Amino acid sequence: MKSVVIKQPNELIIEERPLPVPGMNEVRVKISLAGICGSDSHIYRGHNPFAKYPRVIGHEFFGVIDAIGEGVTDKSPGERVCVDPVISCGHCYPCSIGKPNVCTSLVVLGVHRDGGFSEYAVVPAKNAWSVPQNVSDHHAVMVEPFTIAANVTGQVNPGKEDIALIYGAGPMGLTTLQALKNVYQVKQVIVADRINERLVMAENSGADWVINNGEHDLSTLLQEKGIKPTLIVDAACHPSILQEAISLASPAARIVLMGFSSEPSSIIQQGITGKEISIYSSRLNANKFPVVLDWLQKGLIDPDKLITHRFNYQQVTDAIELFEKDQKSCCKVLLTFN
């Protein structure tokens, strides 16, 4: 089989590898679609501190089970599945309280272990989620990015009274936007980004108000309308955003951070405690695959609004380069493996 392998930072090859055999409680998936994410590019460029090389990248993938290992009773060949990349131990403290996404021995497919940019992948059977018939292949491959939004929103119990502000209209901002608008039906969602083309995508995904905060002062615009967001999601992840969010937020607001910056943020306590603001963070997803499959079955979210490009996996280098260079036209770039 052919696999997309990052041999070492900045060296991507398509390698012939032996077809893997599923072991105990594992299934083999014949991949048909995979999505490119920022973290794939970070591993390619050597910017992911968790990655070990050589590595088959890809943690957003969909396919059909073609072989099962010993002990697998609830999955069979022919089943369409999307794969949760989060592999956890099941018994540490975070696992015991329902947060396998931060398991003390966390393994993420495509990061710590070979992932889905490959003709076949062997994965734990319990990570392969059956896709209902009325969910199409290209929606199923988008489950993982929407699980990030399910995890973010799941932290903060959004309600109809919420006025949300999302920083960043990349894939993560847009999945969160769709969840807040369509699943939780919050009163209003405002999206801020520096790229107008991305703000247009946010409008298409249901934003009530988009603001180019590179051209306009966000704080002034919100003040003019007397808006104090009650829920703020940082899907842009610059270290300066937290303090700005604290000062823009309503009393009793919740703020969710998604970023992995290693730079310090300068924040003022008074602004947090004075308004009793709750600050959350969200990493990957904690058992959110069934949640998102349910959203898709009910037609609550529309992944098509995020998919901008498709490439055959043999053009993976072009696909990643376009994804990296052209944020104006790219949102989700898919790879096909048939």
d(CA 270, CA 289): 38
Using the minimum distance from each CB to ligand NAI, give the nearer residue, 30 or 238.
238
- Binding residues for ligand NAI restricted to 128-157, rule: CB under 6 A: 148
- Binding residues for Zn ion restricted to 38-67, rule: CB under 5 A: none
d(CA 201, CA 204): 5
List Cβ neighbours of 292 (8 Å cut-off, separation of 6 or more).
143, 146, 147, 150, 301
Binding of ligand NAI by 112 (CB under 6 A): no
Q: What is the SS3 assignment for 30?
A: strand
In the complex, least distance from residue 156 CB atom to ligand NAI, rounded to whole angstroms = 14
Span from 121-129, 131-139, 255-263, 298-306 in contact with ligand NAI (CB under 6 A): 255-263
Using the minimum distance from each CB to Zn ion, give the nearer residue, 117 or 289.
289
Binding of Zn ion by 88 (CB under 5 A): yes
Binding of ligand NAI by 283 (CB under 6 A): yes
Using the minimum distance from each CB to ligand NAI, give the nearer residue, 2 or 310.
310
Q: Residue of minimal CB distance from ligand NAI?
A: 170
Look at residue 88 and give the partner it binds from ligand NAI, Mn ion, Zn ion, none, a contact being a CB closer than 5 to 8 Å depending on partner kind: Zn ion
Rounded to 5°, angle at Cα 116 from 112 and 122: 80
H helical segments located in the chain? 38-44, 93-96, 137-140, 143-154, 171-178, 196-204, 218-224, 241-248, 269-273, 289-297, 316-325
Span from 23-31, 190-198, 266-274, 291-299 in contact with ligand NAI (CB under 6 A): 190-198
Category of 100 on φ-ψ map: left (φ > 0), alpha (ψ -120 to 50) or beta: alpha
Q: Which residue in the block uniquely carries the two structure tokens 């602004």?
A: 271
Give the Å distances, CA to CA, from 212 to 194, 200, 204, 207.
5, 11, 16, 13
Span from 50-58, 129-137, 188-196, 221-229 in contact with ligand NAI (CB under 6 A): 188-196
d(CA 312, CA 140): 18
Using the minimum distance from each CB to Mn ion, give the nearer residue, 37 or 152.
37
Interface positions with ligand NAI (CB under 6 A)? 38, 148, 167-173, 192-195, 198, 213, 235-238, 241, 258-260, 282-284, 327
